[in-house]
Homo-oligomer: A and B are copies of this chain.
Amino acid sequence: MPKVTPRTLSGFMELLPAPQQQMDLFLNTLRETYSLYGFTSLDTPLVESAEILLAKGGGETEKQIYRFQKGDADLALRFDLTVPLAKYVALHAGELAFPFRRFQIGKVYRGERAQRGRFREFYQADIDVIGDGRLDVANEAEIPAVIYSTFTRLGLKRFQIQVNNRKILNGFYAMLGLTEKAGEIMRSVDKLDKIGPENVRELLITGVELNEAQADDIMKFISITGSNAEVLEQLRSYQGRSELFDLGVAELTTVVKYLAAFGVPEAYFAVNLTIARGLDYYTGTVYETYMLDHPEIGSICSGGRYDNLAEYYTDRQLPGVGISIGASRLFYILQEQAMLNEEVNTAPADVLVLPMTEDLTAAAQAATYLRSVGIRTQLYAEQRKFKAKMSYADKLKIPFVAFMGEDEAAQGKISLKNMTTGTQNLLTLEEAAEQVKDTLAKRNVGTLIRG
Q: Which residues from chain A sit less than 8 Å from chain B, CB to CB? A: 1, 3-9, 12-17, 20-21, 23-24, 35-49, 51-52, 55, 66-71, 73, 75, 77, 86-88, 90-92, 95-97, 99, 101-102, 107, 109, 111, 121, 131, 134-136, 138-139, 141-142, 145, 149, 257-258, 261-263, 310-315, 348-349, 352, 360-362, 364-365, 367-368, 371-372, 374-383, 392, 395-396
Quick one: given A4-B52, A21-B40, A392-B97, are A258 and B313 in contact (CB under 8 Å)? no
What are 30 A-B contacts with C-beta separation under 8 Å? A1-B311, A3-B314, A6-B91, A9-B47, A9-B48, A12-B45, A14-B43, A14-B44, A14-B45, A17-B40, A17-B42, A20-B41, A20-B42, A24-B41, A35-B376, A36-B371, A38-B348, A38-B349, A38-B377, A40-B348, A46-B121, A66-B75, A67-B68, A68-B68, A99-B380, A138-B379, A138-B381, A261-B364, A262-B367, A262-B368
Inter-chain CA distance A380–B374, complex, in Å, is 37
Inter-chain CA distance A47–B135, complex, in Å, is 38
Quick one: given A20-B42, A47-B12, A99-B382, are A66 and B70 in contact (CB under 8 Å)? yes
Contacts of A362 in B (CB 8 A): 261
Contacts of A139 in B (CB 8 A): 381
Contacts of A313 in B (CB 8 A): 3-6
Beta-carbon contact of B311 and A9 below 8 Å: no
Contacts of A45 in B (CB 8 A): 8-9, 12-14, 121
List of 3 A-B pairs having minimum Cβ-Cβ separation, nearest first: A38-B378, A68-B68, A38-B349
Beta-carbon contact of A20 and B40 below 8 Å: yes
Beta-carbon contact of B16 and A382 below 8 Å: no
Inter-chain CA distance A259–B52, complex, in Å, is 52
Q: Contact partner of A92 among B16, B47, B315, B381, CB < 8 A?
A: B16
Beta-carbon contact of B43 and A314 below 8 Å: no
Inter-chain CA distance A396–B102, complex, in Å, is 13
Beta-carbon contact of B6 and A90 below 8 Å: yes
Inter-chain CA distance A311–B44, complex, in Å, is 35
Inter-chain CA distance A136–B1, complex, in Å, is 26
Contacts of A75 in B (CB 8 A): 9, 66
Q: Contact partner of A37 among B4, B66, B90, B371, CB < 8 A?
A: B371
Inter-chain CA distance A372–B153, complex, in Å, is 11
A394 to chain B, nearest CB (A): 9
Beta-carbon contact of A368 and B261 below 8 Å: yes
Closest B residue by C-beta to A360: B138
A308 to chain B, nearest CB (A): 10
Contacts of A23 in B (CB 8 A): 43
Contacts of A69 in B (CB 8 A): 68
Inter-chain CA distance A240–B57, complex, in Å, is 72
Contacts of A47 in B (CB 8 A): 9, 12, 66, 77, 109, 121
Beta-carbon contact of B8 and A48 below 8 Å: yes
Beta-carbon contact of A46 and B107 below 8 Å: yes
Q: Contact partner of A66 among B9, B68, B91, B368, CB < 8 A?
A: B68
Beta-carbon contact of B396 and A97 below 8 Å: yes
A377 to chain B, nearest CB (A): 6
A236 to chain B, nearest CB (A): 20
Quick one: given A41-B24, A107-B46, A368-B263, are A142 and B379 in contact (CB under 8 Å)? yes
Inter-chain CA distance A86–B4, complex, in Å, is 12
